[in-house]
Structure 1
Amino acid sequence: MALQGTGMLIVGTDIPAAWEEEFNRWYDREHIAERVGIPGFLSARRYIAVSASPKYISFYETEDFAVLSSPAYKQMLANQTDWSKKVMANFQNVKRQVARTTAGLGAGLGGAAAVIRLRPADNDAATAREALKAVLADLVTKDGTLAAHIMESDPELSKPLAEHKDTPKDAPEAKDWIVLVDTTSAEVAAAAAKAVSSASLPGLTAIDSGTYTLMWILGKAEL
């Protein structure tokens, strides 16, 4: 499915087994709807790992990047519910990106996805972006590969939240780019992750990649 906005909040996390049932109940019964209800947020998708770390990852699409530093979003962050505080205190291996969606190729929302983390050099983002787009343009012609999106993180806004107690404030992944590839199966997603990670991309270094299956998606119109 073509993304409708140009902002994206991406949150990946692990959770201790003893908290996993409540974590999923909280995500599904409170957190996703709460976030999508913020003005400017458009949709949220949840994924669970097939072969990836962290085990869970969510993508929150916004109308534009400015929404992710808006007063409404900041107010929500400053006034977390008691349930949110309780659950989020148990997050582990948190990866949080506040990003601009800078490219989208193909069409469709797949039941599986590849997620690739790339670390940019400190120069010539435009050249790196064009090289990556060329790789993705070829990738979306492959059977079972539907769409691919580039999300470029803002290093300042991608800092961990106060609730993410085990995540360093100066984590290097704050500047990473995320590639999301929608596919029809986990096998195709694995091939897509390998193709992007192994590609020669000037100015970009592959940090890690993984495959996920879609748990569910919520759009603003459904609230």
Structure 2
Amino acid sequence: MTQSHGMLFVATNIGAEDEADFNQWYDHEHVEERVAIRGFLSGTRYQAIHAERKYLGLYETEALEAFTSADYHAAFTRQTEWSVKNLQKMVNPMRRVSAVTHKHGKGTGTHLAVVTLKALDASVLTAWQQQISHTPGYVASGLLTPDVVLSSPLPMESKGQRQMLPMLLIHCSDASSCDQLAAHAAELMTGDVQRYAFSWQLTKQELAHG
């Protein structure tokens, strides 16, 4: 049986006065630090089109075990001063460590929909993915199921009522397709839609080749 990939989902707002430094930190230190950890495959940044939090970072790993490794633990015990400063300035952040299942299609689109599901019927999800396989603009989709133990909160994250709901990620090549597919999925499976645009991505292969 193929082992499920893991994914770290981090979304946050940031004050206007801290935004420039926050993006410099993310783009020139944080993503590279995380992707360099053993078992990490990529780090991808998004900006909100219509979402509660402006910035989203997705870090895919070979398996959930990457988040219990000594390398990952070391990343938390050896935070740089720049990291500590920016983590403390996050506004209403959300951190979830999830198993990635129901992967369908291939690639990363310029547009992303995050559909937070109230409940999950796997057969309905599978049927929906098969139905929209050849829809123009559709690239790929997958389900994130948060791990309660591994999804410890960020320093500025609220510690109470942290819902661990499944999230359907839908990657598309254009905005219109993403909006339509997300609306259809949300209606069919009862969910709330957040919409993001791709910013940039760093893969392990790119890091290894300098």
Distance 2:4 2:82 in 1: 29
CA contact (8 A) 2:12 2:93 kept: yes
Structure 2 unaligned residues grouped into runs of 5+: none
CA contact (8 A) 1:112 1:214 kept: yes
Written as runs of structure 1 = structure 2, the 5 A alignment for 1:182-221 is 182-199=171-188, 201=189, 205-206=190-191, 208-221=192-205
Structure 1 unaligned residues grouped into runs of 5+: none
Distance 1:93 1:59 in 2: 17
Structure 1 residues 133 and 183: CA distance shift in structure 2, 3 A: same
Written as runs of structure 1 = structure 2, the 5 A alignment for 1:56-205 is 56-120=55-119, 128-161=121-154, 163=155, 165=156, 167-173=157-163, 175-199=164-188, 201=189, 205=190
Query: Partner letter of residue 7 of structure 2?
Result: M
Distance 2:71 2:118 in 1: 30
Distance 2:52 2:175 in 1: 15
CA contact (8 A) 1:186 1:212 kept: no
Query: Partner letter of residue 172 of structure 1?
Result: R
- For 2:93, what is the secondary structure of its paired residue? strand
CA contact (8 A) 2:4 2:99 kept: no
Aligned-pair RMSD on alpha carbons?
A: 1.7
How far the C-alpha of 1:137 sits from its partner, in A, is 2.5
How far the C-alpha of 1:140 sits from its partner, in A, is 3.1
For residues 26-51 of structure 1, what are the alpha-carbon distances to aligned partners after superposition, in whole Å with 9 as ceiling and x for unaligned? 00000000000001101011000111
For residues 12-64 of structure 1, what are the alpha-carbon distances to aligned partners after superposition, in whole Å with 9 as ceiling and x for unaligned? 11111111111111000000000000011010110001111211111101011
Structure 1 residues 5 and 154: CA distance shift in structure 2, 3 A: closer
TM-score (norm 1): 0.86
- For 1:117, what is the secondary structure of its paired residue? strand
How far the C-alpha of 1:5 sits from its partner, in A, is 6.3
- Runs (4+) of structure 1 exceeding 6 A deviation are none
CA contact (8 A) 1:41 1:67 kept: yes
Q: How many pairs align?
A: 205
For residues 73-109 of structure 1, what are the alpha-carbon distances to aligned partners after superposition, in whole Å with 9 as ceiling and x for unaligned? 1121222111011011111121111000011111222
